């Protein structure tokens, strides 16, 4: 008996919406940046892989070691991006709470024998493969905040909670409710848990990115700017305390101000990075012709890959890379503005702001604009976990873009 193929009429309205066309401009930019990133990774990592000189990694002298592994993660990430782009993004609402719970569990597992320590930091888990749970935590926080805050308007329209103003507790509760403090308590509690676990690793750069992603979703959802001013002051004071009370962070600030104070130590990397950028000139030395990647510049396949790009492609090539990132970010925000509903807007804003912050911080560090943070460059830096999750996040953006032509929903 022949099985009748389901026609478009058999699908629900939501299923039909989810099958709309993706935004080709955004997709093309993601694929282009991924391709350029792989090419630059091959060039930047060739020497260090051939000499097998990176601590804790045995390349076997294979010069294509990092490229092959990153290429595999890129293919897997692109496949995952495609699958996610085909799924109705409304389902993320149901996944947001389990994803947040899983991210906290994975961060806790770091402090068990499953955790792996390197260079004084315990940031990795080894569960068959080695990965950083912090990458998943960034996305989980954005998903949860977007799912909850997308219903904020409906909650504000609901009748206000009645407080017993005859008691001090009731009067205090009514006041805190009126100024919006109680609304923020659950989000603040979640952030404190995540940030505390990241602080214990320690992983300062992940703490910053989690805060940036969460803050962007809160801001667009309509939370009062006064709370951002208060929270910014508090977070700034906390970061300053951590920096001044943590030796390695204090050293990073001193080296940022003047790398020559410790050229044989922490100042070596930023100094060599600036040499790489300066030696590239206007047109660069040519793809593959970097000198700094031959055991001079540390982390050339990771945090400092943009410096190698500047050396080989010159100022013009570096500006083209920056322009591609800017176009992707601007296109992402355009999609957020035209999203069908508030949930889609908040998801895109969170993920695109996270991408923009990582790009800014990485390039800022490499060029000496800001102190060293240890933040990698999206789509370029070596790291399978980061690349797969970044492409998965872009898949969510593409999923939202499929429904842009549909009538807006409040």
Q: Spell out the domain ranges in the chain.
A: 20-401
Residue 406: strand, helix, or coil: coil
Q: Please name the helix (run of DSSP H) or strand (run of DSSP E) that holds residue 125, with its range, or none.
A: strand 121-127
CA distance 208 to 136: 15
Looking at the DSSP assignment, which residues form a beta bridge with residue 117?
A: 122
| Mean per-residue pLDDT over the chain, rounded | 85
Are 30 and 295 spatial neighbours (Cβ–Cβ below 8 Å)? no
Q: What is the pLDDT of residue 164?
A: 64
Are 242 and 249 spatial neighbours (Cβ–Cβ below 8 Å)? yes
Are 160 and 120 spatial neighbours (Cβ–Cβ below 8 Å)? no
Q: Which residue has the higher pLDDT, 377 or 269?
A: 377
CA distance 154 to 156: 5
Distance of CA 282 to the CA centre of its chain: 30
Please report which confidence band the pLDDT of residue 204 belongs to, taking 50, 70 and 90 as the band edges: confident
Q: Are strands 115-118 and 121-127 parallel, antiparallel or unpaired?
A: antiparallel
Q: Averaged over 261-285, what is the pLDDT?
A: 86
Looking at residue 189, the DSSP 8-state letter turns out to be H
Q: End-to-end alpha-carbon separation of the chain, Å?
A: 45
Q: Please name the helix (run of DSSP H) or strand (run of DSSP E) that holds residue 357, with its range, or none.
A: helix 342-366
Looking at the DSSP assignment, which residues form a beta bridge with residue 131?
A: 125
- Give residue-wise pLDDT tens across range 224-261: 788 778 877 887 787 777 777 777 677 777 777 778 77
Q: Which residue has the tokens 């969460």?
A: 214
Residue 1 has pLDDT above 50, yes or no: no
Q: What is the pLDDT of residue 237?
A: 84
Looking at residue 87, the DSSP 8-state letter turns out to be S
- Give residue-wise pLDDT tens across range 94-114: 999 999 999 999 999 999 888
- Give residue-wise pLDDT tens across range 340-360: 889 999 999 999 999 999 999
Give me the numbers of helices (H) and strands (E) for the chain, helices first please. 15, 3
Q: What is the pLDDT of residue 224?
A: 78
pTM of the model: 0.88
């Amino acid at each position: 008996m022949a099985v009748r193929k389901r026609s478009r009429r058999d699908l629900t309205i939501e299923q039909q919406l989810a099958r709309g066309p993706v935004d080709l401009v955004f997709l093309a930019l993601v694929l282009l940046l991924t391709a350029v990133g792989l090419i630059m990774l091959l060039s930047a990592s060739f020497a260090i892989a051939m000499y097998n000189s990176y601590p804790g990694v045995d390349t076997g002298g294979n010069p294509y070691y990092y490229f092959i592994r990153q290429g595999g993660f890129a293919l897997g990430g692109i496949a995952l991006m495609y699958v996610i782009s085909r799924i109705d993004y409304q389902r993320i609402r149901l996944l947001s709470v389990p994803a947040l719970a899983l991210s906290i569990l994975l961060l806790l597992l770091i402090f068990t024998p499953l955790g792996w320590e390197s260079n004084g930091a315990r940031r990795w888990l080894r569960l068959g493969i080695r990965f950083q749970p912090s990458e998943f935590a960034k996305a989980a926080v954005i998903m949860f905040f977007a799912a909850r805050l997308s219903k904020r308007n409906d909650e504000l329209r609901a009748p206000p909670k009645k407080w017993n103003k005859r008691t001090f507790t009731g009067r205090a509760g009514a006041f805190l409710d009126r100024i919006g403090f109680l609304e923020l308590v659950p989000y603040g509690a979640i952030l404190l848990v995540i940030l505390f676990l990241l602080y214990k690793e320690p992983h300062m750069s992940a703490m910053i990115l989690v805060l940036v992603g969460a803050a962007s979703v809160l801001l667009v959802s309509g939370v009062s700017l006064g709370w951002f001013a208060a929270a910014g002051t508090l977070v700034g004071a906390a970061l300053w305390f951590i920096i001044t009370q943590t030796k390695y962070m204090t050293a990073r600030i001193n080296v940022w101000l003047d790398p020559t104070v410790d050229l044989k130590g922490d100042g070596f990397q930023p100094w060599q990075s600036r040499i790489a950028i300066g030696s590239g000139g206007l047109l660069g030395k040519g793809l593959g012709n970097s000198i700094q990647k031959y055991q001079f510049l540390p982390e050339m396949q990771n945090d400092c890959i943009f410096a190698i790009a500047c050396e080989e492609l010159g100022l013009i090539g570096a500006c083209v890379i920056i322009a591609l990132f800017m176009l992707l970010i601007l296109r992402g925000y355009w999609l957020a503005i035209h999203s069908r509903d508030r949930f889609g807007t908040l998801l895109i804003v969170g993920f695109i702001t996270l991408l923009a912050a990582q790009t800014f911080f990485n390039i800022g560090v490499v060029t000496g604009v800001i102190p060293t943070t240890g933040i990698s460059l999206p789509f370029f830096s070596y790291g399978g976990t980061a690349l797969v999750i970044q492409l998965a996040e872009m898949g969510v953006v593409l999923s939202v873009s499929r429904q842009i032509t549909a009538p807006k929903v409040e």
